[in-house]
Amino acid sequence: MALIVQKFGGTSVGSTERIKNVAWRVAKWQAAGHRIVVVPSAMSGETNRLLALAARLQEHPDPRELDVVAATGEQVSVGLLAMALLALGVRARSYAGWQVRVLTDSAFTRARILSIDEMRLRQDLENGCVAVVAGFQGVDAEGNITTLGRGGSDTSAVALAAALGADECQIYTDVDGVYTTDPRIVPEARRLATISFEEMLEMAGAGSKVLQIRSVEFAGKYKVPTRVLSSLTDPKLPVEEEARSGTLITFEEDPHMAMEKAVISGVAAQRDEAKVTVHGVPDKPGIAYAILGPIAGAGINVDVIVQNVAHDGTTDLSFTLGRGDLKRAMKMLNDTVKPHIQCKEITGDDRMAKISVVGLAMRSHSGIAAKMFRALAEEGINIQMISTSEIKISVVIDEKYAELAVRVLHKAFELESA
């Protein structure tokens, strides 16, 4: 008898009929002898509706009060799902994050989980009860309701699985697994039966929207077996068949499998990128910190960073960041950083995309970068910035070429038939 944490996204609980389907699915797994904890998201569109209400009352909503409002979406979902399970004759009990006591820090709207008191959940499971826990939320040391940021229900589910020592965390979504790339761009994209934690982490960071990156980090840190499945299949599909479906994130790479594995596992695209270039920067120690330190201090995440070769005692420094942070970053740089470092000018471009190829087998294969660059060059796609890790190569290009680049690279590495 396995202990399984099942997470269902907003689309999966987007209506009462879909909530009934989730209840059927949960009941099926429990009837097969498994102990089940369920983590539903808010109904699709509900969080956006709540945030819009807050914005009508306060131009910049107070973060503490915004968390109080935003957390209600998941609380509605857990109550409704518990009712649907009870209607099927399944013992169920719903919990808000503060009732379980998911303890977080006090960074409202983007809190981080510190610990989970899982004892009440264990008692329910021992008594044959399904525990339905609100994702996305917790409580800080002073009793304030906190939320984990967008996609936080994935993180909640993986964290609960880690705390309970679950046999598997199942993430049900509107896709049936992790694909070699977005099937909406490349119809020939293949679903992967397995993907390593390292590859999934790089894919999530490179723009794959299947799993929230913090949940992947959590799964890797605590070695939580995680499977991505579709919630749109028949809820009465036999458990044995459903248990083998989707994509399993693995944590121990079989060396023999690695030898036979495709060099590249997937291609990911991140479209909401922007680029900032600081021109004519004095080429001296500490200048990078003088530019990027204030950016970090403002809570703006920077991704790819490139510094050009110096000429005449000056250089250019470019970096990418989220498109939504560009205006704030440009204002900060022009108002406070530029007078201090005495650069020539600062330019920004919000029409960037980051395209990445990811593959664990890149460690033992050469020529991947050359193949990638050649494929893009043959289509006339100019590379503006390059970033690499041990198992990933990313390029920053003009956004209008993003889909073309994905299709070209997917074909170049023969991912449709690997």
Taking Cα atoms as reference points, which of 396, 382, 404 lies closest to residue 321? 396
Lowest mean pLDDT of 15-24, 99-108, 340-349, name the range.
340-349
Looking at the predicted structure, is the pLDDT value of residue 406 above 80?
yes
**pLDDT band, very low/low/confident/very high, at 213 (cuts 50, 70, 90):** confident
Q: Which residues of 220-254 are buried (b: 16+ CB within 10 A; e: fewer)?
A: beeebbbbbbbbebebeeebeebbebbbbbbeebe
**pLDDT band, very low/low/confident/very high, at 418 (cuts 50, 70, 90):** low
SS3 category, 168: strand
Backbone angles phi, psi at 202, to 5 degrees: -65, -40
Lowest mean pLDDT of 47-61, 82-96, 260-274, name the range.
260-274
Q: Compare 314 and 53 and report the one with higher pLDDT.
A: 53
Taking Cα atoms as reference points, which of 354, 357, 412 lies closest to residue 389? 357
Quick one: pLDDT at residue 416? 86
pTM of the model as a whole: 0.84
**pLDDT band, very low/low/confident/very high, at 233 (cuts 50, 70, 90):** confident
Output Rg (C-alpha) for the chain, integer angstroms: 23
User: Over the stretch 342-354, which tens digit does the pLDDT of each residue have?
Assistant: 888 999 999 999 9
Cβ–Cβ < 8 Å for 105, 114:
yes
Collect all residues with Cβ–Cβ distance below 8 Å to 96 and sequence separation of at least 6.
71, 74, 75, 78, 134, 137
Residue 398: count other Cβ atoms within 10 Å of its Cβ: 15
Q: Which 8-state DSSP code applies to residue 193?
A: S
Quick one: pLDDT at residue 308? 83
Looking at the predicted structure, is the pLDDT value of residue 6 above 70?
yes
SS3 category, 240: helix
Collect all residues with Cβ–Cβ distance below 8 Å to 251 and sequence separation of at least 6.
196, 197, 220, 223, 225
Mean pLDDT over each residue of the chain, to the nearest integer: 91
Quick one: pLDDT at residue 372? 95
Q: Which residues pair with 173 in a beta bridge?
A: 230
Looking at the predicted structure, is the pLDDT value of residue 260 above 60?
no
Lowest mean pLDDT of 114-118, 241-245, 404-408, name the range.
241-245
User: Over the stretch 375-393, which tens digit does the pLDDT of each residue have?
Assistant: 999 999 999 999 998 899 9
**pLDDT band, very low/low/confident/very high, at 262 (cuts 50, 70, 90):** low
Instruction: For residues 275 and 30, give the distance between their C-alpha atoms in angstroms, rounded to a whole number.
Output: 50
As to burial, measured by CB atoms within 10 angstroms (0-12 exposed, 13-18 middle, 19+ buried), residue 143 is exposed
Quick one: pLDDT at residue 235? 86
Backbone angles phi, psi at 60, to 5 degrees: -120, 90
**pLDDT band, very low/low/confident/very high, at 261 (cuts 50, 70, 90):** low
Q: Which amino acid is at 411?
A: K
Where do the domains of the chain lie, and which CATH numbers do they carry?
Answer: 3-252 (3.40.1160.10), 266-412 (3.30.2130.10)
Positive or negative torsion for Cα 85, 86, 92, 96: positive
High-pLDDT (> 70) share of the chain, %: 97
Quick one: pLDDT at residue 256? 46
Looking at the predicted structure, is the pLDDT value of residue 14 above 70?
yes
